[in-house]
Amino acid sequence: MTKGIVVRLAALSALAAGMMLAQDTKFPPQGEQIPGPAYPDESEHCCTEATQARSREAISREWLTDLEHWRLEHLIRMGYNRVEYDRPELKWTQSSFIQPQMMIEDRTFYDPVAGRFSVDRYLDDLEKRYGGIDSVLIWHTYPNIGIDNRNQYDLLMDMPGGAAGLRQMIEDFHRRGVRVLFPVMLWDQGTRDVGEPNWDATARAMAAIGADGINGDTLDGVPRAFRIASDKLGHPLALEPEGGPADAALAWNNLTWGYWKYPFVPMISKYKWLETRHMVNVCNRWARDKTDDLQYAFFNGVGYESWENIWGIWNQIDDRDAEALRRIGKIERAFADPLVSPGWEPHAPTLQFGAFASKFPLHGWTLWTLVNRNEYGLQAEQLRVRYQPGMKFYDLWNGERLEPKVAGDWATLEFDMEARGYGAVLGLEAGATETPGLSKLLSEMHELARRPLASFSPTWHFLPQHLVESPPTKPQHEAPPGMVRISEAKFLFEVSGVMIEGGNDVGVDVQYPWEDSPRRHHRHWMSVHSFFIDKFPVTNARFKKFLDATQYHPKDDHNFLRDWKNGTYPEDWGKKPVTWVSLEDARAYAAWAGKRLPHEWEWQLAAQGADHRLYPWGNAWNADAVPQPDKGREMRPPTDVDEFPKGASPFGVEDLVGNVWQWTEEFEDEHTRAAILRGGSYYQPQGSLWYFPQAYRLDQHGKYLLMAPSKDRSGTVGFRCVLDSE
pLDDT of residue 2: 43
pLDDT, averaged across the chain: 94
For residues 621-637, average pLDDT: 97
Q: Contact, 710 vs 215, CB < 8 A? A: no
395-412 exposure pattern, b = at least 16 Cβ within 10 A, e = fewer: bbbbbeebebeeeeeebb
pLDDT bin (cut points 50, 70, 90) of residue 13 is very low
For residues 173-192, average pLDDT: 98
Q: Who's near 672: CB < 8 A, 6+ residues apart? A: 103, 105, 106, 107, 309, 312, 314, 705
pLDDT of residue 18: 41
For residues 37-62, average pLDDT: 66
pLDDT bin (cut points 50, 70, 90) of residue 41 is low
The domains located in the chain, with CATH, are 62-258 (3.20.20), 468-494+522-724 (3.90.1580.10)
% residues pLDDT > 90 (the chain)? 92
Displacement of CA 213 from its chain's centroid (Å): 15
Q: Who's near 439: CB < 8 A, 6+ residues apart? A: none
CA-nearest of 478, 722, 435 to 606 is 722
671-692 exposure pattern, b = at least 16 Cβ within 10 A, e = fewer: bbbbbbbbbbbbbbbeebebbb
d(CA 607, CA 615): 8
Q: Who's near 592: CB < 8 A, 6+ residues apart? A: 546, 549, 550, 552
- What three-state secondary structure class fits 366? strand
Cis amide prior to 143 (ω within 30 degrees): yes
pLDDT in tens, 645-700: 999 999 999 999 999 999 999 999 999 999 999 999 999 999 999 999 999 999 99
| Pairing of the two strands 521-528 and 268-269 | unpaired
- Tell me: pLDDT of 53 over 60: no
- Tell me: pLDDT of 92 over 60: yes
pLDDT in tens, 97-150: 999 999 999 999 999 999 999 999 999 999 999 999 999 999 999 999 999 999
N-to-C CA span, the chain:
98
Q: Contact, 697 vs 614, CB < 8 A? A: yes
pLDDT of residue 49: 41
pLDDT in tens, 525-561: 999 999 999 999 999 999 999 999 999 999 999 999 9
Rg (CA), the chain: 30
pLDDT of residue 46: 45
| Strand segments (E) across 498-574 | 521-528, 531-534
- Tell me: pLDDT of 476 over 80: yes
- Phi and psi angles of residue 60, each rounded to the nearest 5 degrees, phi first: -60, -45
What is the torsional sign of CA 400, 405, 408, 411?
A: negative
CA-nearest of 147, 102, 106, 159 to 704 is 147
pLDDT bin (cut points 50, 70, 90) of residue 54 is low
For residues 366-394, average pLDDT: 96
Crossing angle, helix 162-175 and helix 198-209, to 10 degrees? 70
pLDDT bin (cut points 50, 70, 90) of residue 6 is very low
pLDDT bin (cut points 50, 70, 90) of residue 23 is low
pLDDT bin (cut points 50, 70, 90) of residue 22 is low
pLDDT in tens, 197-210: 999 999 999 999 99
- What three-state secondary structure class fits 611? coil
pLDDT of residue 256: 97
d(CA 624, CA 647): 8
Q: Contact, 94 vs 255, CB < 8 A? A: no
DSSP secondary structure letters along 172-223: HHHHTT-EEEEEE-TT--SSS--SS-HHHHHHHHHHHHT--EEEETT-SS--
pLDDT of residue 57: 87
Residue 234's CB is within 10 A of a number of other CB atoms, namely: 8
- What three-state secondary structure class fits 113? coil
Displacement of CA 555 from its chain's centroid (Å): 31
pLDDT of residue 434: 79
pTM: 0.94
Residues paired with residue 539 on neighbouring β-strands, in sequence order: 577
pLDDT of residue 244: 86
- Tell me: pLDDT of 5 over 60: no
pLDDT in tens, 575-628: 999 999 999 999 999 999 999 999 999 999 999 998 999 999 999 999 999 999
pLDDT bin (cut points 50, 70, 90) of residue 415 is very high
d(CA 14, CA 3): 17
pLDDT bin (cut points 50, 70, 90) of residue 245 is confident
CA dist 498 to 149, 501, 656, 695, 698, Å? 20, 9, 18, 7, 12
d(CA 307, CA 406): 44
DSSP secondary structure letters along 645-694: GGG--TT-----SSS-EEEEEEEE-SS-EEEEEES--SB---S-TTSPPP
pLDDT in tens, 269-297: 999 999 999 999 999 999 999 999 999 99
